[in-house]
Amino acid sequence: MDHGLKGHTEDDALSTAVRLLIHYTGDIHQPLHATSRVDHEFPEGDRGGNSVSLPSKDGAKNLHSVWDSVVYAQTDDFTTPFSDSDWDKLGAYADNLVATYPATSSDLASLDPKVWAADSFAIANSFLYAGVKEGDSLTDEYIT
């Protein structure tokens, strides 16, 4: 189907929609996308950890970027389109995550994004900020 835009097809639109769905599904599982701590230190909120500065390590320089890097485990910055070696590297990384943290039946019990967001929010509230002090490196225990 022609949408009036030269070079833009229905397949292009579907591709974009699927990529956004994958992206948003990943984002909702990142706990700092489910919170913006508001307290005496951050009366306007901490912008999902972006305002919590930490010493730079492998390019991660605030709490949000640390969690985006899977707590320093995946700090490579890939450019698109991915090369074959990038796909291989990401595939091996994903395989390792699945092997290290196998999904349980309770992990797979809900396909409701509201449940995913609530789970991420609970993680943010119960763990994510515990022991984190702006400007200080994260402890080895926190990273583990």
The structure tokens 């400007």 sit at 135
Domain spans of the chain? 10-143
Q: Which CATH class is domain 10-143?
A: mainly alpha
What is the mean pLDDT of the segment spanning 92-115?
A: 91
Write down the pTM of the prediction: 0.78
| Residues 6 or more apart in contact with residue 42 via CB below 8 angstroms | 51
* CA–CA dist 101, 80 (Å, integer): 28
Q: What is the pLDDT of residue 96?
A: 92
> What are the φ and ψ backbone dihedral angles of 132, each rounded to 5 degrees?
-85, 125
pLDDT in tens, 4-37: 556 689 999 999 999 999 999 999 999 999 998 8
Q: What is the pLDDT of residue 31?
A: 94
Considering just the CA atoms, what is the radius of gyration of the chain in Å?
Answer: 18
User: 54 with 63: CB under 8 angstroms?
Assistant: yes
Each residue of 57-89: b (16+ CB within 10 Å) or e? eeebebbbbbbbbeeeebeeeeeeeeeeeeeee
